[in-house]
Amino acid sequence: MHKMKKYAGFLGGFGIACILGVFIQAKTADSYFEISKNLDIFTTLFKELNTYYVDPIEPGKMMKTSIDAMLENLDPYTNYITESDIEEYEFQTTGKYGGIGANMRKKDDKIYVGEVYENSPAFTAGLHPGDEVIAIDKQLLKGKDIDDISLLLKGSPGTQFTMRIKDAYTGTEIDKIITRSEIEVSSVPYAGLIGKNKDIAVVKLTQFTPACSRLVRSAFDSLKKAQPNLKSVVLDLRNNPGGLLNEAVSICNIFVDRGQLVVMTKGKTPQLSEEFRTSGAPWDLNIPVAVLINRSSASASEVVAGTLQDLDRAVIVGERSYGKGLVQVTRPLGYNARLKLTTAKYYTPSGRCIQAIDYAHRNADGSVGHIPDSLKKEFKTKGGRRVQSGGGVEPDVLVAEDDISKLAITLYIKNYFFDYATQYAKQNKTIASASTFALADADFAAFGKWLENKDYSYKTETEIALDSFKQAATRDKSFDAVKGEYNALLTKVSHDKKQDLAKHKAEVMRILENEIISRYYYLRGRIENSMRTDEDVQKALNLLEQPAQYQALLVPKK
């Protein structure tokens, strides 16, 4: 989580004036001497290598390697960002980059257009998912890595390039002149109304980027305008990795009054310790709220979920969150390089820190572990409910994660969902709305027939276990004695692909529908369609449609 605050003034000017006594002054002097001495050694070593090493060296690459190795002993969020990495870092923190608004996929040494963002340069140029990309500015792409192609696509807004493609629908090769622009991937890709009476608002927030709180509030305003009798809201923070701390505070301010403590940060020095409170007018103080989280909800997502839980202002639904209770800031290093480093831990209003991994105390082999249950502390919410520190945010309503079948994973990895969706879009110019589109049994049969001559074999858990048994028995020279029984058992457990397809019909249909919908309604459509079968959403929906059950979860257990 990043704090939109610079500490340079405090550290550079005020810090020296705050030295407390001769002891601290001496201790600081010793520390600076050690730093100065080792920096001098490092500089001399680097010069010697550059001057006398038998082969030429790459100073920039070598320096990056040495810095990364030094930071490796800290937490994984303290990183050296080189000038060449700045654009990717800016995209991660702001959601903006200069490019065409489409990602690429690689298959059989060829490059294809993958997802296309709505209203992007790629969209305007008429690119379709499934188009084969042959060349960029006459540079052939066959055999190139996706990262190399990404560099060719990104660039300053307003610059142009020519992309030669083979159209997925017509099969013709054509040159497309594409003008790059600033691409801003919205942190609120979906907002809509759900429920029997369409009176429950759901807003999905994917990242805490600058001004995302205004987008969320605006989305709720629009939904309230469309449905004046709005009964409750769902805030979806699943797979949200976090972002800006001040935006997390502003998101909480949508549902809690001004002046409310949201989060405290505690660092090495007083200047790095601070309280963050809401400062604006709330959107609604009383409307029931359900917040969705999962194992990939981290940092700022956990601030919002943990704070609203501590204040008994929302019911948390889903899985235990990731457990990142650390705050990062970025410091300039010169030459457009930066250091992102952890400066503090954060604490929710009840006083708990949700950090799950103890990076300060490593094992003898250098590995780190989760904070043990014996060291976790119990805290209480505003209304007296019990919550724990040291392990992410525990949901009030736990929804077990659905296991994805090996069949579905195999079909996805081999691009069969993607390829069939391309064929489907080629044959069908329009489909039903994203919220109502569904494949029929005949469509599933057609997909099965399309798969008949394609390899999507895989090994089940039982088959993998039998392989391990065979290897162990062979090493022990005992396999011959059980070979007959082994082969009989292997025959019994060997799976039939057609049977597997029928067994996992519902899952396969759901994924295929979602892929097809993306060709017509893009990411927004994907999310809208998934609402019908999303277990977390349905759980929250059922809860919010039963006010007594919702309120019961906010009362301390006796």
User: Catalytic residue among 3, 204, 324, 539, which?
Assistant: 324
Residues 6+ apart with CB under 8 A from 28: 19
The CA-atom distances, in angstroms, between 308 and each of 347, 450, 489 are 13, 49, 53
Through-space distance between the first and last CA atoms of the chain, rounded to whole angstroms: 36
Kindly tell me the sign of the dihedral angle through the C-alpha atoms of 365, 369, 373, 377.
positive
User: Catalytic residue among 299, 350, 389, 518, which?
Assistant: 299
The C-alpha R_g of the chain, in whole angstroms, comes to 28
CA within 13 Å, CB half, 241: 6
If DSSP states are collapsed to H, E and C, what string results for 81-124?
ECHHHHHHHHHHHHCEEEECCEEEEEECCEEEEEEECCCCHHHH
- What's phi and psi for 439, nearest 5 deg? -80, 145
Tell me which residue of 418, 430, 411, 434 sits closest to 515, measured CA to CA: 418
Tokens describing residue 477: 């020279």
User: Catalytic residue among 310, 396, 419, 534, which?
Assistant: 310
Q: How far is CA 265 from the centre of its chain?
A: 23
| Secondary structure of residue 169 in the 3-state scheme | coil
Q: What is the DSSP letter of 187?
A: S
Residue 310 designated active-site: yes
* Contact present, 328 and 273 (Cβ < 8 Å): no
Residue 221 amino acid letter: D
Question: What is the distance between the alpha carbons of residues 270 and 247, in angstroms, rounded to a whole number?
Answer: 23
Residue with tokens 């010169």: 334
- What's phi and psi for 423, nearest 5 deg? -65, -40
Ranges assigned E (strand) in 109-185 = 110-116, 132-136, 139-140, 160-166, 173-179, 181-184
Q: What is the DSSP letter of 375?
A: G
Number of H helices, E strands in the chain: 19, 23
- What's phi and psi for 424, nearest 5 deg? -65, -45
Buried b (16+ CB within 10 A) or exposed e, 13-36: eeeeeeeeeeeeeeeeeeeeeeee
Catalytic residues: 299, 310, 324
